[in-house]
Amino acid sequence: MKILYPKYYDTFSCIAAACPDSCCKEWAVDVDEQAAACYRGLPGELGERLRAVLRDTEDGTVMEIENGRCPMWQQDGLCRIHAELGHDALCRTCREFPRLRHDYGSFAELGLELSCPEAARLIFTGDDTQVISRDALEEEEGTEEETLQILLSARQVSLQILDRYRLPEALQLLLLYGYSVQNQIDGGEPAVFDPEKDLALSRQYALPGDRDAFLSFFMGLEILTDRWKLRLEKALPAPVWDARLKKLAKYMINRYYLQAVSDYDLVCRVKLTVIACLLVAFLGGDPVSTSQLFSKEIENDPDNLEAILDGAYTAAGLTDGNLLGFTMMR
């Protein structure tokens, strides 16, 4: 099977003790069945400790956090399971994080999760030239090939939009072009990218941006850390257009657009991309660390992600007019 990935993917290496926001903090890690059975069967003090901190939930087994940390985290910043039993003994979540893989039948794409600070650094500053290789897996049949081709083309055009336009205009064009592609997916005419028309339509559709409605949507989601709550409470009066946020937009486009092949809904993913950039622009500060925190709070919480994908059509703060209004703020 053909495998595609950004060049920086191969350069990732966990910085462990030097990590400013370890993945061993704040999250209750999902432990796969095989690892949970192995941990529960271990002899000695490590086995006893693991039996005490593993908890079965209706969604599977998790490692309960203690004092805000994974109980296997040691003062030297390293993992006790890794230190005593080696890398292969880690559960699947910890072995793979922050590496991502998406399979699309005839090819697969690899990437890194923005919620890891070292991955965030690479996503914002690394060489994202695409590398193509092959693995031993067979190509699978059954992927919706026609829709996939439409999405691949839409992704290509969307990435070019980011290269050619300032971020506020790029966000307007992504949204309007996204609707045009959605129409094609739904059986309409082939999508046409017409920037002049779309920029004029953006000005026509834009409403005065309701910042409070936008931010209160996120205040109503699950909040993992106090620092995220504080950032939302202290959001800026208007978005700060840092050009580096184009890297966040590219990451979102690369990660989410093709997933519309599963439900034919591209617009909610386009809006997710626009919303991510707007939210991080409203929060200000260093765009790399703010994006990393956004990812940890939103992307890594399936309920929060789902709430945005659904809310893209229904939430008062996430209407097209509101989002377009924010892109007109200077």
Closer to ligand SF4 by CB, 97 or 104: give it.
97
Q: Is 23 in the site for ligand SF4 (CB under 6 A)?
A: yes
Output the smallest distance, CB 13 to ligand SF4, in A. 8
Output the smallest distance, CB 301 to ligand SF4, in A. 16
> How many chain residues bind ligand SF4 (CB under 6 A)?
11
Strand-strand pairing, 107-112 and 2-6: parallel
Output the smallest distance, CB 70 to ligand SF4, in A. 10
Q: Is 320 in the site for ligand SF4 (CB under 6 A)?
A: no
CB 68 within 8 A of CB 55: no
Output the smallest distance, CB 16 to ligand SF4, in A. 6
Site string for ligand SF4, 114-153 (x = CB under 6 A): --xxx-----------------------------------
Closer to ligand SF4 by CB, 117 or 311: give it.
117
Site string for ligand SF4, 58-97 (x = CB under 6 A): ---------------------------------------x
CB 270 within 8 A of CB 175: yes
Give the range of 13-21, 228-236, 263-271, 312-320 binding ligand SF4 by CB under 6 A.
Answer: 13-21
Output the smallest distance, CB 116 to ligand SF4, in A. 3
Amino acid at position 27, single letter: W
Closer to ligand SF4 by CB, 77 or 190: give it.
77
Neighbours of 108 (CB within 10 A): 18
SS3 call for 127:
coil
Give the range of 3-11, 15-23, 301-309, 319-327 binding ligand SF4 by CB under 6 A.
Answer: 15-23
Among 5, 14, 154, 309, binds ligand SF4 (CB under 6 A): 14
Beta strands (DSSP E) in 91-248 are 99-103, 107-112, 130-134
Neighbours of 33 (CB within 10 A): 11
Output the smallest distance, CB 20 to ligand SF4, in A. 8
Smallest CA-to-CA distance from 229 within 218, 238, 240 is with 218
Q: Give the tokens for residue 153.
A: 């083309």
Output the smallest distance, CB 22 to ligand SF4, in A. 4
Output the smallest distance, CB 77 to ligand SF4, in A. 8
Among 5, 6, 22, 211, binds ligand SF4 (CB under 6 A): 22
Give the range of 55-63, 110-118, 223-231, 300-308 binding ligand SF4 by CB under 6 A.
Answer: 110-118
Output the smallest distance, CB 262 to ligand SF4, in A. 27
Dist. CA 258–CA 269, nearest whole Å: 9
Dist. CA 294–CA 299, nearest whole Å: 7
Q: Give the tokens for residue 318.
A: 């996430």
Among 15, 100, 215, 240, binds ligand SF4 (CB under 6 A): 15
| Residue partners of 27: CB distance under 8 A and separation at least 6 | 65, 70, 224, 300
Amino acid at position 70, single letter: C
Closer to ligand SF4 by CB, 21 or 128: give it.
21
Beta partners for residue 66, in sequence order: 69
SS3 call for 203:
helix
Dist. CA 178–CA 253, nearest whole Å: 11
Dist. CA 56–CA 209, nearest whole Å: 44
Exposed (0-12), middle (13-18) or buried (19+): which is 233, by Cβ within 10 Å? exposed
- Note the residues at the interface with ligand SF4 (CB under 6 A): 14-16, 19, 22-23, 97-98, 116-118
